[in-house]
């Protein structure tokens, strides 16, 4: 059961403020974010002042104490604007907050949650040069010493790494592959720890302003208190639980991008004429609008249902995989239709459509590819049959 819940009146007031902020500040700053490949410092300060870094963090730790449903709805609103804004605050609110709240010690929660809620940037590092989808095959290794651990390894494509204050690093604590991935543990690693260095940001297809880089860990000495929850061997479980939250966050981002892209195509099509008529008057254009609107409605329903089950404390592995897969794929279909409605302008960088197309492509890849979502869904459904539950 998720005990977080902001009272409805306060939430509605917040949502009005957020919607205004998105339209009046975030959207107008998009070009600056994209050109500099970074969110301007004054916008980050405003985001911190609005409490965006702690929306889903409990009030006792200085967060806004939103339920998952409220938080994901807010993320959808924010994702009307460029994806970089979500990227900088969602890993702290989502994956890292979930890991700390469910598995952290009271001291770890006290140390990190108030810092993140007030604007410290968090990252989550599981992927490596040799392991992505097959994350349990990771090589990074934390060796136990008399007073803690020595961590070595390389993590790849880590979102927020160039800005991060703390990274939740998933690494082996045993060279042997143990049952239920018991060889994997989770560590809270401040980025100013000796031996931690961050690579040059990778050049990406889209989502400019959201940066990723390698995290290089060379003989990083960590105290025992860096081990999440004081317990070895639960790192894979921590990662998978937290990823449920991350997958709903990607679904919310897909939904926000889809709504923005469709709105943009409708507005463009209404003022563009061909054969003496508005482009939106052609039934072939209307079919694209109708299919996109139906996809958006399906995304909204799935996301609302999955978030509500998460708030009830239910196991949402199946729902999270279904909504992540559906929303990211639907968003891909929508941005493709949007480019088509724009015609030639859809391929030109002076217009937004080609950016939506590039930005959306990532949703089908990170936090588990569509193929991995298919495997999770099919495995879960088949297990229900094998256990005689269906
Ligand atoms: C912009 C960006 C941000 C990212 N942010 C983070 C982050 O913050 N933290 C982090 O840890 N990682 C991050 N990642 C990494 C991301 O999660 C991985 O890239 C992703 O999970 C896929 O892993 P991979 O790249 O190793 O692909 P691979 O695992 O090599 O997969 C290649 C292809 O094979 C398919 N495939 C793999 N296994 C199977 C199978 N069993 N059956 C069928 N098909 C299969 C995949 O679906 C894919 O199509 C990020 C990546 C990007 C691009």
Domain CATH code at residue 185: 2.40.110.10
**Do 184 and 271 fall into the same domain?**
no
Number of domains in the chain: 3
- Please tell me the predicted confidence (pLDDT) of residue 1: 58
Is the distance from CB of 298 to CB of 330 less than 8 angstroms? Answer: yes
**Do 147 and 253 fall into the same domain?**
no
258 closest CA partner among 287, 295, 284, 283: 295
Judge if the beta carbon of residue 365 lies within 6 A of ligand 1.
Answer: yes
Question: 158-185: per-residue pLDDT in tens?
Answer: 999 999 999 999 999 999 989 989 999 9
Question: 250-273: per-residue pLDDT in tens?
Answer: 999 999 999 999 999 999 999 999
Question: 315-351: per-residue pLDDT in tens?
Answer: 999 999 999 999 999 999 999 999 999 999 999 999 9
Residue for token pair 């060889």 = 183
- Please tell me the predicted confidence (pLDDT) of residue 355: 98
Judge if the beta carbon of residue 243 lies within 6 A of ligand 1.
Answer: no
**Do 369 and 247 fall into the same domain?**
yes
Residue 311 maps to a domain? yes
Residue 215 maps to a domain? yes
Task: Look up residue 214 and give its two tokens.
Answer: 């390698």
Residue 2 maps to a domain? no
**Do 325 and 228 fall into the same domain?**
no
Residue 52 maps to a domain? yes
**Do 131 and 151 fall into the same domain?**
yes
Residue 3 maps to a domain? no
Distance 370 CA to ligand 1 centre (A): 10
Which residues form the catalytic set?
367
**Do 109 and 141 fall into the same domain?**
no
- Count of H helices and E strands in the chain? 12, 9
Confidence of residue 285 (pLDDT cuts 50, 70, 90): very high
**Do 114 and 172 fall into the same domain?**
no
Judge if the beta carbon of residue 215 lies within 6 A of ligand 1.
Answer: no
CA distance 339 to 288: 11
Residue 228 maps to a domain? yes
CA distance 247 to 252: 9
Average pLDDT over residues 60-67: 97
Task: Look up residue 222 and give its two tokens.
Answer: 């960590």
Question: 88-114: per-residue pLDDT in tens?
Answer: 999 999 999 999 999 999 999 999 999
- Please tell me the predicted confidence (pLDDT) of residue 346: 98
Is the distance from CB of 358 to CB of 313 less than 8 angstroms? Answer: no
Ligand 1, atom 35, residue with closest C-alpha: 371
Judge if the beta carbon of residue 185 lies within 6 A of ligand 1.
Answer: no
- Mutation test of ligand 1: which of 91, 369, 370, 379 has the most ligand atoms closer than 8 Å to its C-beta? 369
Distance 133 CA to ligand 1 centre (A): 5
- Please tell me the predicted confidence (pLDDT) of residue 144: 96
**Do 49 and 131 fall into the same domain?**
no
Chosen domain end from 200, 233, 266 = 233
**Do 225 and 139 fall into the same domain?**
yes
Domain that includes residue 15, residue range: 8-120
Confidence of residue 241 (pLDDT cuts 50, 70, 90): confident
**Do 115 and 246 fall into the same domain?**
no
- Residue 294 belongs to a domain with what CATH number? 1.20.140.10
- Prediction pTM value: 0.97
Chosen domain end from 57, 87, 120 = 120
**Do 221 and 248 fall into the same domain?**
no
Judge if the beta carbon of residue 362 lies within 6 A of ligand 1.
Answer: yes
- Mutation test of ligand 1: which of 132, 161, 370 has the most ligand atoms closer than 8 Å to its C-beta? 132
- Residue 73 belongs to a domain with what CATH number? 1.10.540.10
Distance 137 CA to ligand 1 centre (A): 13
Residue 112 maps to a domain? yes
Residue for token pair 């998952």 = 68
Distance 269 CA to ligand 1 centre (A): 36
Residue 93 maps to a domain? yes
Asked if the model's pLDDT at residue 2 lies above 70, the reply is no
Confidence of residue 46 (pLDDT cuts 50, 70, 90): very high
Asked if the model's pLDDT at residue 3 lies above 80, the reply is no
Is the distance from CB of 169 to CB of 211 less than 8 angstroms? Answer: no
Chosen domain end from 170, 205, 233 = 233
**Do 275 and 225 fall into the same domain?**
no
Judge if the beta carbon of residue 159 lies within 6 A of ligand 1.
Answer: yes
User: What is the residue-averaged pLDDT of the chain?
Assistant: 97
């Amino acid at each position: 059961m998720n005990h977080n819940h902001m009272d409805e009146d306060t939430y509605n007031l917040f949502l009005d403020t957020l919607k205004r902020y998105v339209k009046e500040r975030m959207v107008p700053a998009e070009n600056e974010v994209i050109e500099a490949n970074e969110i301007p410092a004054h916008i980050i300060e405003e985001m911190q002042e609005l409490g965006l870094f702690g929306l889903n963090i409990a009030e006792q730790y200085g967060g806004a104490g939103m339920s998952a449903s409220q938080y994901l709805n807010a993320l959808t609103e924010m994702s009307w604007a460029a994806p970089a804004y979500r990227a900088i605050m969602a890993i702290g609110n989502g994956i890292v907050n979930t890991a700390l709240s469910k598995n952290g010690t009271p001291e770890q929660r006290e140390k990190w949650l108030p810092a993140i809620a007030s604007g410290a940037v968090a990252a989550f590092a599981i992927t490596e040069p040799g392991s992505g989808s097959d994350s349990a095959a990771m090589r990074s290794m934390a060796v136990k010493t008399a007073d803690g651990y020595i961590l070595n390894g390389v993590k790849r494509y880590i979102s927020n790494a160039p800005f991060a204050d703390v990274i939740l690093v998933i690494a082996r604590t045993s060279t042997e592959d143990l049952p239920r991935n018991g060889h994997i543990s989770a560590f809270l690693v401040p980025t100013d720890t000796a031996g931690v260095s961050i690579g040059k940001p990778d050049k990406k297809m889209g989502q400019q302003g959201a940066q990723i880089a390698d995290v290089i860990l060379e003989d990083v000495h960590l105290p025992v208190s860096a081990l999440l929850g004081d317990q070895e061997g639960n790192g894979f479980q921590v990662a998978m639980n937290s990823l449920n939250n991350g997958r709903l966050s990607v679904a919310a981002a897909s939904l926000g991008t889809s709504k923005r892209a469709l709105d943009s195509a409708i507005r463009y099509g209404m003022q563009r004429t061909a054969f003496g008529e508005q482009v939106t008057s052609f039934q072939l254009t209307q079919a694209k609008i109708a299919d996109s609107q139906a996809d958006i409605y399906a995304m909204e329903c799935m996301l609302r249902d999955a978030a509500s089950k998460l708030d009830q404390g239910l196991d949402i592995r199946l729902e999270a995989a279904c909504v992540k897969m559906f929303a990211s794929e639907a968003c891909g279909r929508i941005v493709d239709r949007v480019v088509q409605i724009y015609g030639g302008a859809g391929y030109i960088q002076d217009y937004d459509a080609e950016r939506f197309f590039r930005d959306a492509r990532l949703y089908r890849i990170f936090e588990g590819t569509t193929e991995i979502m298919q495997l999770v869904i099919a495995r879960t459904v088949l297990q229900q049959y094998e256990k005689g539950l269906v």
